[in-house]
Amino acid sequence: MGLRILTEQPRHLADAGLLVLRAMIGAVFVAHGASDFFTPGFGVAALAEWQRDAGIPLPELSAPFTVFGQFLGGVLFLLGALTRLLAPAFVVMMLGAVLYVHIPAGGGFFNDSGGGVIGYEYPLTLAAACTALLLTGPGRFSVDRMVVDRWARPAGGGREPLAEPADA
């Protein structure tokens, strides 16, 4: 095998890597959505008011999109369901957080927890990870793949092979 181990791996390991990435991103979004939704004193109305004060456009629409999108979308991401539809929505959400929250708050790239300044590396990293999943898809260990395997069959009843990504 030699140096090939640096660039090649069995397909199931790539799928396992996508599962780990997708599950972690999903868990982060579920946690943030649940925190906004279930924490006393928070919720959609409180978030809409906070977004209005922060100058975020259309807080009456963006607040429920944020809370329910993070919570329900995170659950679907964990399962690998509708991954390529959710990924761009999460990218938009995270770039919105960078542009409307983190940069206006005076944050640079890094968080300064001692000074209370919030950096934008965290939402930018989530946006990049969601972009990667948009480009790669959720992998074999996903609801999306199970649906495709079940329903994407040719008229003759046989199984249509799914195309594997080309090696770089």
> pLDDT tens digit string along 31-48?
999 998 888 888 899 999
Cross-strand pairs, 112: 117
pLDDT value at 167 more than 80:
no
> pLDDT tens digit string along 107-159?
788 877 666 668 899 999 999 999 999 999 999 999 999 999 888 766 555 55
Domain ranges of the chain: 13-151
pLDDT value at 168 more than 60:
no
- Banded pLDDT at 105 (limits 50, 70, 90): confident
Q: Cα separations (Å) of 154 from 64, 78, 140, 142, 159?
A: 40, 29, 20, 21, 7
